[in-house]
Amino acid sequence: MELFDTIYFKGIVMEEEDFVILEEEIKQRVQELAKEIHEFYSEKKISLIHVIFVLTGAFIFTSDLIRELNSLGIKMKIKEIIVHSYRGMHSGEVLLEDRDFLDLKLNNADVLILDDILDTGKTLHAIKEKILEIYAIKSMEFCVFLKKENNERQVDLDIRFVGFNIPNIFVVGYGLDYNGEYRELPYIINLAQLMKDHE
């Protein structure tokens, strides 16, 4: 086994090709994240958060997380933003339309942006810039379920809430797709591994 094929995941050394986050682990981590978010905003005495989630990938994570947040008593206003940046497995340019942001009504808001995964950071950076251009917000935080270890990440963003740090591999499941496929999988898995299993 080559050293670079080995990853360190939740205390267990695994080969990258074995990479998987099971349904139960996802569920548990979402609950923990909700607690972290609840604690953060309670400490700041913020009682209403404006949640903006990024379509399409974040839809499953968002629906799980907001119900956990609700059970902790957090009040939310939830809106979506549509961003298309991925074609297949290669990160392309981020296309944002002003009109998609105009009815978000974020003046004076405490904004929490949710996304499925952070790779180059271009998507969340572009969203941040666009919101700051249009609105006078009170605060903005980011929550991503997965954060890819990406040494060539071009944009440095301060992500306050992270579900799992994962290696630099292409993953699918739990809302994440490859050309529209595999979003419905209840677990997260290395695409390469999934392809191999299906051979």
Interacting residues of 25 by C-beta distance below 8 A, sequence separation 6+: 10
Catalytic, 115? Answer no
76-105: contacts with ligand IMP (CB under 6 A): 85-86, 91
Applying CB under 5 A, which part among 25-33, 50-58, 59-67, 169-177 lies near Mg ion? 50-58
Best CA proximity match to 10, nearest among 192, 26, 77: 26
Q: Which residue spans within the chain are E strands per DSSP?
A: 6-9, 12-15, 20-21, 48-55, 75-82, 84-87, 90-95, 110-118, 139-148, 161-166, 171-172, 188-190
How many residues does the structure list for the chain? 199
**Of 115, 130, 161, 164, the one binding ligand IMP by CB under 6 A:** 115
Q: How far is the CB of 169 from ligand IMP (least distance, A)?
A: 7
Q: How far is the CB of 124 from ligand IMP (least distance, A)?
A: 6
Cβ closest to ligand IMP, residue 57 vs residue 163? 57
Residue nearest to Mg ion (CB): 57
Query: Does 62 sit near ligand IMP (CB under 6 A)?
Result: no
**Of 21, 41, 49, 57, the one binding Mg ion by CB under 5 A:** 57
Estimate to the nearest angstrom the gap between the alpha carbon of 53 and the chain centroid.
Answer: 9
At 15 the three-state DSSP class reads: strand
Distances (CA, A) of 66 to 63, 154, 157: 6, 30, 23
Query: Does 175 sit near Mg ion (CB under 5 A)?
Result: no
Of 100, 110, 119, 197, which one is the catalytic site residue? 119
State the catalytic residues: 119
Residues that bind Mg ion (CB under 5 A): 57
Residues that bind ligand IMP (CB under 6 A): 54, 57, 85-86, 91, 115-123, 170-172, 176
